[in-house]
Amino acid sequence: MKTPFCVRLQILGIQQNDELEYFENPEFFEDSQHIFPLNIYAQSYGIYVIRLDYYIKKNFIKEEKIVKGKLIFTFYNYITQQFVDIYDLLCTDNNFIKLDGQFWFKDENSISPLIIRLKLQIYYQEYLKYQNLLENIELEKNNLQGNIEKAKTELRINNENFVNFKMKVNQLKQFYQIQPQYPEIDIAILYSHPLVNQNEKRVSPVQYYDDIQNFKQRISALNKKVTYLITQATKENLRQVLKYNPKIIHIIAHGENDTNKLNQYLQFENNCTDDFVYREDLQQIMKESKKSLLFLACCYAGEIAKNIQQYATTIAVDKELKMLDDAGIYYFSSLYENLLSKKTLQTSHEQAKKNVEEQLGDKNFQCCHCHSHREACKEIFGKYNDLCFKHKSQCKCEESDKINDKLSHLWGPNYKCQDICEVILNQVQEQKNKEFVNIKLDEFAQDGILRVCCCELAEKLQDDVSTFIQHTESEKFQIFSQNSTQSQIFNNVEKGNLVEINQLSWEEQYLIAWKKDAKVIYNKLTETFYSKKRQILKICAGTSKGERFVIKFAHQVSKYFKFRKLKFYKRNEIEDIQIIEIPLDKIEQLLLKKYETRISYIFIICQLQKDLFIKSIEQLLQLNQKGTIILISYQELFELDLDSNFYKIQLKDWVNNSDKKEKCDYYKILNEYGDELTQKIIETVGEDKIKKLKFDQLLDQIEIILKNQQEQINQFVQN
């Protein structure tokens, strides 16, 4: 087949002013030109009219732009430099547009684009319709402009009134010395419990639950009337707490060094995600403190404490030290007891350290994971984990009367602990340095004892000034203060019961399974809770075997949500959030119930059946006006197509969990069956296999074991 003759096609009349722009700068349009093969009729080049009409409408005119009318084409003649009407070029019963070189040869050396200009001949009725539309648009525009001017005038007047009102309020404040009144409290406890970090990875919570429960039990036993509040560790909550002028602010959170260890931060929370609070951030907030005593139950918090001691006397551990959870509980509970017994801060501090020593016993001296590694240790021993050397040694040194702690080993002229020597030398990175290190160890030993803290040894080997690292838990707690520590914090405390100032029955779940899913539900609860048009949250529980675990999970997330939405400084907005669980067939009881206006509700509806569910949709929509509904649905019901009143949440975190660190959720499930049966399940299935199972697979295994267990019991009874 003969190759057709092709030209580049330039269509004008599509965009406003495109004709003028094209002839001023034709190069700018080259990328938008299409290659177009010409037709041949009776040995003449040209284009069939119907083909051109179809091509233009398909490629250059949007469907919704077409009106009732007729496309008119004109073609540019390079010789006359004028557009030629299509009617002058038509032949063969007006079906073929005959063209020649005048329409694509600007000169003899090159082919130029075939330029077609479009016009649209609109039918008269269409013209009248669009003319009427334009008149209506103009009228609406004038009305809108009038409304805008009217609204501007009203806004200006309202703004002037508001400014005048603020001026009068300020005048009254100055005249009457009006200040917001906040009830003074004794103790404010702020705990941090983010679900995930900023990279959507799960966060293991600090052991705040035991700390708070221990505080409440120990203080209650003293029969002291102490006012306190419990809230989450957020920047805003801390600012609000300071307005209540507490005697003590107790922060329970993870403390960390940043990547280069030049700065430390506390891991606060913000909308269930972690929020790093650096020492500069805390310093800025604590400027508002009226000399409160600050307890930082956080690792690596010493440098932060130094920076804020001018605003608040602070108790913390050194910047490179980790804190054992139990040590923190023992220390602070004893500290509170002594302070409430009218002892000075210094005396209470010493008594609290002594209590840690007594309670921990042998655990008071930690040789592993008690501090962060120094740079010298990383360079010489390559150590990032497994602090110190003791746990890699099998020696008997600690049986000697000369040894007082786990870091000390026998090292004298007559006897050297070869076991610990071998462990240390194996950690030396460079082979040529091993002999040097071996000689140096003799120099470091004193009185027949070698102290084997890896960081201290590394600094000595580099001839740096070696700084002693505290490994004794009871001695890690320090007071950072610019004021005297001999004063009493509680001068006069009445006898009585503990008084919780924010009037919450605090019972937040310490462990929340499936945290990434929990964040999804939390955010959706936040979105819909105060909305006038709430959506019903529909959570898939998989099979019926998993329903009770998902119900418990819904309770956990609801409580987590509750304690973050009930702000202690906004008690006038809402008094409480009640969480009510009920089977779907009892929904009529909820519709008949009377509801308090200043109490919000979360309804967890379970035991759904398809027919009953479909019949109950209207009742669910009615109940949804009284509170937020969480439906615990099976897979079959979950897949039903519903309208926008329902929002589906497919739990993914527990259905397909591949992160080994997150497998601890399954042990929470096993614990539901009690210690004896849990041990039976682990022995039968195998701990390694449990870690690899998906949620449904684990439930199947448990069901088999329970069935076998019941059969054994029945057989025993029969015998």
Summarised one tens digit per residue, pLDDT across range 259-292 is 655 688 999 999 999 999 998 999 999 988 877 8
Do 561 and 709 lie in a common domain?
no
- pLDDT at residue 588, rounded to an integer: 92
Average pLDDT over residues 139-147: 89
- pLDDT at residue 71, rounded to an integer: 81
- pLDDT at residue 572, rounded to an integer: 65
Do 276 and 346 lie in a common domain?
yes
Average pLDDT over residues 161-174: 82
Q: Helix/strand/coil (H, E, C) string of 315-337? A: EEECCCECCCHHHHHHHHHHHHH
- pLDDT at residue 94, rounded to an integer: 76
- pLDDT at residue 663, rounded to an integer: 45
Least confident window among 83-97, 111-125, 186-200, 589-603: 111-125
Domain holding 302, by residue range, is 187-365+476-480
Which of 471, 504, 532 represents a domain boundary (last residue)?
471
- pLDDT at residue 708, rounded to an integer: 74
Task: Tell me if 357 is assigned to some domain.
Answer: yes
d(CA 191, CA 508): 11
Does the structure show a pLDDT above 90 at 658? no
- pLDDT at residue 296, rounded to an integer: 93
Do 680 and 708 lie in a common domain?
yes
Q: If pLDDT is split at 50, 70 and 90, which confidence band does 661 have? A: very low
List, in sequence order, every residue forming a beta bridge with 606; answer none if it has no partner: 583
Task: Tell me if 489 is assigned to some domain.
Answer: no
Q: If pLDDT is split at 50, 70 and 90, which confidence band does 232 have? A: very high
Q: Give pLDDT tens digits for 601-618.
A: 999 999 888 889 999 999
Least confident window among 113-127, 233-247, 472-486, 658-672: 658-672
Give the chain's mean pLDDT: 83
Do 690 and 625 lie in a common domain?
no
Give one DSSP letter per residue of 275-305, joined into a string.
Answer: EEEEHHHHHHHHTT-SS-EEEEESTT-HHHH
Which of 232 and 662 is assigned the larger pLDDT?
A: 232
Do 191 and 212 lie in a common domain?
yes
Do 101 and 137 lie in a common domain?
no
Does the structure show a pLDDT above 60 at 666? no
Which of 624, 649, 674 represents a domain boundary (last residue)?
649
- pLDDT at residue 404, rounded to an integer: 77
pTM over the 0.75 mark: no
Do 192 and 307 lie in a common domain?
yes
Does the structure show a pLDDT above 70 at 23? yes
Task: Tell me if 506 is assigned to some domain.
Answer: no
Q: Tell me the residue type at 713.
A: I
Does the structure show a pLDDT above 50 at 660? no
Instruction: Count up the domains in the chain and report the number.
Output: 6
Task: Tell me if 498 is assigned to some domain.
Answer: no
Whether 489 and 247 have beta carbons less than 8 Å apart is answered as yes
Q: Give pLDDT tens digits for 403-425.
A: 877 788 888 888 888 888 888 88
Which of 316 and 511 is assigned the larger pLDDT?
A: 316
Which of 183 and 227 is assigned the larger pLDDT?
A: 227
Do 262 and 342 lie in a common domain?
yes
Whether 606 and 584 have beta carbons less than 8 Å apart is answered as yes
Region at 448 (left for phi over 0; alpha for psi -120 to 50; beta for the rest): left
Average pLDDT over residues 467-490: 87
Give one DSSP letter per residue of 459-499, joined into a string.
Answer: HHHTTPPPPP---BHHHHEEEE-SS-S-SBS-S---BS--E
Q: How far apart are the first and last CA of the chain?
A: 96
CA dihedral 252, 254, 258, 264 (to 10 degrees): 20
Backbone angles phi, psi at 583, to 5 degrees: -70, 155
Task: Tell me if 688 is assigned to some domain.
Answer: yes
Task: Tell me if 200 is assigned to some domain.
Answer: yes
- pLDDT at residue 44, rounded to an integer: 87
List, in sequence order, every residue forming a beta bridge with 7; answer none if it has no partner: 36
Do 208 and 349 lie in a common domain?
yes
Task: Tell me if 457 is assigned to some domain.
Answer: yes
Do 543 and 609 lie in a common domain?
yes
Task: Tell me if 303 is assigned to some domain.
Answer: yes
* Residue 427: strand, helix, or coil: helix
Do 154 and 273 lie in a common domain?
no
Q: If pLDDT is split at 50, 70 and 90, which confidence band does 238 have? A: very high
Do 211 and 337 lie in a common domain?
yes
| Closest-CA residue to 638 (of 650, 630, 628) | 650
Does the structure show a pLDDT above 90 at 640? no
